[in-house]
Amino acid sequence: MALWAIALYHDTGMTAANQERVLRGTGVTPLSGVGTVFGYDPDADLSLPDPPDPAAVEADAELGRFRRARERVRENLAAERERTAERVGEEEAEIFDAHRQFVDDPEIEAAVEARVGEGLPAEHAVDAAFADAIEQFEAAGGVTAERADDLREVRNRLLRELLDAEVSDLSALPAGAVVVAERLGPGDTAQLDPEAVGGFATATGGRTSHAAIMARSLGVPAVVGLGEELLTIADGTTVVVDGDAGEVVVDPTEERQERVREAGRDVAVRHDPVATVDGRSVEVAANIGTPAEAPGARDQGADGVGLFRTEFLFLDRAEPPGEDEQYEAVVDVLETFEGDRVVVRTLDVGGDKPVPYLDTAAGENPFLGVRGVRLAPGERADLFETQLRALLRAAATDAGDGLAVMFPLVATVEELDDLLARVEAVAASLEEAGLPHRVPELGVMVETPASAFVAGELAARVDFLSVGTNDLTQYVMAADRGDERVAGLHDPRHPPVLRALDRTVRAAHDAGAWVGMCGEMAGDPDLTELLVGLGFDELSMSAVTVPAVKERVTETDAERAEALAERALAAETLADVEDLLAEEGAE
């Protein structure tokens, strides 16, 4: 089996020099490195010979082989799920539940049985049955197409059992290695040791693929979707893998390599709150998806949780979670961060996060349709009320003083007024039922130009605003964040986006509300000084970047940062902003 590896040091991204060749893809984690390319082929040793004469195939025997292989795969998936839950978290471990569903899928089983009935051996039948399913997933496009890699991984597991092929062992990679491959499945990624391996780069895949999700949770630098050109790079070629910019730079200059190595030094974890050089406090929190991620975020020094994405409680299941399950999940996180703030976002599905059992029409453009509060409470008031009941009850627990709740995709004052009225109604129903409850801090996510324009009116009604820069950039620039053709427009440093941020912060402060940021922009240490200068009180990000951002806050002079922000707001083009930030970083 071929293995490609890149000896890697951590960083936050560089810019390309003219003599360098740059491959562009999708960054998965905001970490980068420099090293030498080798390769890994997940399909190695799985090629099939021509099938025998159908008359020579004993159907019952082949079906028996298939069922025994399937049982061994079930056992292996259960073991990997348990290891992943202990090592990474429950959310990531649930990926293997999805694989188990593919193993037991009745349509795939029927397709295998039909192919065996036509005279194919078990391995050929499995290959053919999964090929049809993979083709259907890829034809669907978008996030659904990314699930095709999960089907490939399940197929490969079955084929290895049937062919008695060698199982890849990526846990034994040399220190500082990054796997480079056409694609990786979550099973491959779960094997990687984040303390030893540097990361990975793949020709295919997207940010929402299970391998990408696993990489972010492990804190492994990664770039996906780089295209077939990635696989043409000769073994031994020096490259820089920039997980922040989503680039692989071939034949980087010595200067670039040195900058990456220098920037990749270990950053000490700071468990105490941090402040700028001149004493301005900035809260540095973590984004999480499940309670299982909270201890890891705390261990990285997060001051609390700036975004608890509760939609993950609703995914990969047949029905929504009940009130008690949601209550227990929130209390679990509150207890992990007792004494610190935990900001919970109410259900935010739709757009790039469909939930099949909710049976909501996607519409011609899901990002402009029913999502966020337009779904819950919009079309599904029951889901919103159940979640609110759980949240208000959690706020009344011993650890509940730190709870804050924010509403996603609010675009109008009328929407917010309706949401606040619903909170009052739920509180009244809990009072009537004699259940302990408390209305926590309430806030609004600023994700649209509309909410930025009425930020003052929104802030006057709530305790805080929190900017989701991923969606805000998408809507301000009219650039689908999943469309690579307009990737250049999906950059929060564009002047229109910076001015929307400035407007939001000023409006919030004028209304007496604090303002945070929970988009990916918050986790880029190269932008920390700018965000401090714009006046953000809180920055929330992937836990892996908390130490680097905290360090950058302590190195920042708030007065100088404000001057930088003023210059950035006066810039006319993205290039102007890039030059300004590069100049500031060089000083």
Q: Which of 541, 387, 373 is nearest to 467 (CA)?
A: 541
Cα–Cα–Cα angle for 561, 564, 568, rounded to 5 degrees = 140
Cα–Cα separations (whole angstroms), residue 389 to 99, 385, 432, 512: 33, 6, 13, 27
For the chain, what is the largest distance between any 2 Cα atoms, rounded to a whole number of angstroms? 83
Structure-block tokens of residue 239: 């490259």
Cα(332)–Cα(449) distance, rounded to whole angstroms?
35
**Quick count: other Cβ atoms within 10 Å of Cβ 236?**
8
Cβ atoms of 312 and 349 closer than 8 Å: no
DSSP states of 241-275 as a string?
EETTTTEEEES--HHHHHHHHHHTS------S-EE
Question: How many helices (H) and strands (E) are present in the chain, helices listed first?
Answer: 22, 17
Cβ atoms of 106 and 116 closer than 8 Å: no
Instruction: Choose the catalytic residue: 99, 124, 494, 518.
Output: 518
DSSP states of 157-200 as a string?
HHHHHHHTPPPP-GGGPPTT-EEEES---HHHHHH--TTT--EE
Cβ atoms of 518 and 306 closer than 8 Å: yes
Give the 3-state secondary structure of residue 102.
helix
99 included as an active-site residue: no
Give the 3-state secondary structure of residue 440.
coil
Q: In a 10 Å sphere around its CB, with 0-12 CB exposed, 13-18 middle and 19+ buried, how is residue 456 labelled?
A: middle
Cα–Cα separations (whole angstroms), residue 271 to 151, 243, 433, 547, 550: 41, 26, 40, 9, 10
Fill in the amino acid letter for 71: E
Cα(274)–Cα(259) distance, rounded to whole angstroms?
26
The answer, yes or no, to whether the previous bond of 321 is cis (omega within 30 of 0) is no
Cα(321)–Cα(313) distance, rounded to whole angstroms?
7
Instruction: Choose the catalytic residue: 99, 124, 210, 490.
Output: 210
Fill in the amino acid letter for 207: R
DSSP states of 472-531 as a string?
HHHHHHT--TT-GGGGGG--TTSHHHHHHHHHHHHHHHHTT-EEEE-SGGGG-GGGHHHH
Cα–Cα–Cα angle for 278, 284, 289, rounded to 5 degrees = 175
Cα(52)–Cα(568) distance, rounded to whole angstroms?
69
Q: Which of 22, 32, 35, 15 is nearest to 249 (CA)?
A: 22
518 included as an active-site residue: yes
Catalytic residues: 210, 518
